[in-house]
Structure 1
Amino acid sequence: MIFDEYTIKSLVRPVPDFPKAGVTFRDITPLYRSPKAMRMVADSLIQRYVESPVTHIGAIDARGFLLGAVIAYELNKPLILFRKVGKLPGDTLKDTYATEYSKAELEIQSDSFAGGEQVLLLDDLIATGGTFLAAARLVKQLGASVYEAAAIIDLPDLGGSRKMQDADIPTYSLCAFADNE
């Protein structure tokens, strides 16, 4: 199946002033309701990473879990969950980060990596980059490396992909939306 950015973008619904005034939320649920679009997204990412040195898939809470599970299954790689604080049992490590409208914490189980792994981080979108940067710090703290941070959508006007690149985290997205789109 050929990737069609227009199809993907047409299925991402802008929701103005959600979750607060001034924020335009990019809702990907219409994309997940389209088997064709979901297959395009998954197949594009699978093709990108099938011959890469990625050893683990790191899925970010919560929408990243949807994509991460599919990619981990198809690439036959372990799936590592990055969760909001208090959702994982056992020993965990956590990191605090800022979003475009709040502060939050992300955690990972402390036995997720032995050291030396190459981790593909996945989420639905790159906004301010805070969540991806927190996940990357946790990966590094456990002795692994981020191979790439990938998302369906990049919102470059919020500066996240630039911050990630400045932190030497390679980024990849299937499409991007400017503020005026």
Structure 2
Amino acid sequence: MVDRLTRSIGVTLTQDNLNGNVLAMQAIIEQAQNQFQPVSLLLYAFASLIGCVGLLTLINLLTTSVLERSREIGIWRSMGATGRNVAGVFWIEGASLSILAWVLGVLLGIPAAYGFVYFLNRVLLSVSFAFDPLVIVEMFVVIMGIMSIASIGPALNAAHLRIADILRYE
């Protein structure tokens, strides 16, 4: 209905030889959002790349931890720890590191985002700072998902180490 009204006004103005470019507010908003879609996609690509780097770093860290603590794992297993208990230790280690990264990301990310918007206001265009607290929860879920994927391999590797091979190794 709004589109019909704006078209009707545009046609009437054009017939009277006036500027017939009439747009509804929703159409103006959509045009503005479409202009920034490439920038938005670029920012999502950077965020995905950072997530992949975090995933690989956590896998490397946990794998190294399993290798360095193999004798400790052997002692745990000889004292009766199950493979699930040993895997749980490394999953908790990954979770604690991920939660620490999330907290630091929240504490540093909000001021950095505000600074980025301030910079855009000064240099490029006027943009207001908007913050959705639900994004913090979404970020936590994504980080814990990345942590779970990264922890699977090292935790299973630690759980399947044989006691005799570990204790005989050194």
User: Smaller-chain TM-score range?
Assistant: under 0.3
Task: Compare relative contact order (CA 8 Å, sep 6+) and give the higher one, 1 or 2.
Answer: 2
Structure whose CA Rg is larger? 2
Question: TM-score, normalising length from structure 2?
Answer: 0.21
Structure richer in strand, relative to its length: 1
